[in-house]
Amino acid sequence: MAGALIAVEGIDGSGLSTHSKLLVKSLESLGLRSVYTKEPTEGPVGKLIRSLLSTKGPDPYLMALLFAADRAWHLRGDEGLPGGRGVLGALELNYIVVTDRYKYSSIAYQGSAGAPKEWLWSLNSFAREADVIVYIDVPVRLALSRIAARRAVEAYEDEAFLLKVKESFSEVLERASEAGVKVIRVPGSVGEEPRPIDDVSKDILTGVLGWLQETQRLNFKS
C-alpha cells in the first residue's frame, strides 16, 4: 500500500483549514494513518511569507520564489512530519498527507497577480503532483465576509482579485486533471449561503474514501 498526498484548495475564506483538519480527523477515526500539514509552513521561509502577506501588493515574482522555496522545505526538510523528512518522508511511511494548500494555490494566486503562468508551472515542477485535489468552491462575497469576521484583510483578499483567482483555479484544476490528478470539487455554499460544515465535510470524506478504495490505498494503522 502506498501513501497519498491530498491537497485542499480554494480561495481564501473557503474553509480550507477547517476541512483539512476535519478530513484528517475522520480518516484517523477510520484507522487510516493520516497527518495534517499546510502551506505556507511554520519553517523559516514560511514565516517570512506570512509577514509579507500583511503588506500591500507584494511582488508576485518574489512571492512565487518564496513559496517555491518554502515548498521545497515542506517536501524534504520539515522535521515536524512523520519520519522527520518532510512530506515525501511521510509518504514513504504510507501516510495520507493532507496539505492545506499546495503548489496549485501558488500558481492561481501569483498568476492572478501578474506572474506568467507557464513560468509558475516550471518553477514548481520540482514539486510532485498531488494525488488528489479537494477544491472547495464558495462565492467570493461569502469568502470575504468570513475573512473580515475573523481577522484583518491581507494581500490578495479583495473582491476583484479573488474573482480572478477563482477563474485561474479553473485553469489550474483542468491542467492538474490532465496530468492525472484526481480533482474532487465540493460546493461550500448553496447560492450565497454557506452549507453546514458537517455536510461539506461528509462530501469531502466520501470523495476521498472513494478514490482511496479505487486505488487500493486504504492504509490502516498497524
* Strand 193-194 versus strand 189-190 pairing type: antiparallel
Q: Give a yes or no: residue 50 inside a domain.
A: no
Q: Give a yes or no: residue 220 inside a domain.
A: no
pLDDT at 154: 62
Give the three cell numbers for residue 155. Answer: 494581500
Q: Give a yes or no: residue 160 inside a domain.
A: yes
pLDDT at 55: 80
- Beginning with the edge strand found earlier in the chain, give each strand of the sheet holding 4-9 in spatial order: 34-38, 96-100, 4-9, 132-137, 182-187
Using DSSP's 3-state secondary structure scheme, residue 189 falls into strand
pLDDT at 173: 99
CATH number at residue 183: 3.40.50.300
- The sign of the torsion formed by the CA atoms of 109, 110, 112, 113 equals positive
Q: Give a yes or no: residue 67 inside a domain.
A: no
Query: Which domain does 123 fall in, by range?
Result: 4-39+95-214
Domain count of the chain? 1
Q: 188-205 burial by CB neighbour count: b if 16+ within 10 A, else e?
A: bbeeeebbeeeebbebbb
Residues of the chain with pLDDT under 50: none
Q: Give a yes or no: residue 72 inside a domain.
A: no
pLDDT at 129: 98
Q: Give a yes or no: residue 84 inside a domain.
A: no
Q: Give a yes or no: residue 201 inside a domain.
A: yes
- Count of C-beta atoms within a 10 Å radius of residue 65: 15
Q: Give a yes or no: residue 18 inside a domain.
A: yes
Rounded to the nearest angstrom, the gap between the alpha carbon of residue 68 and the centroid of all alpha carbons in its chain is: 14
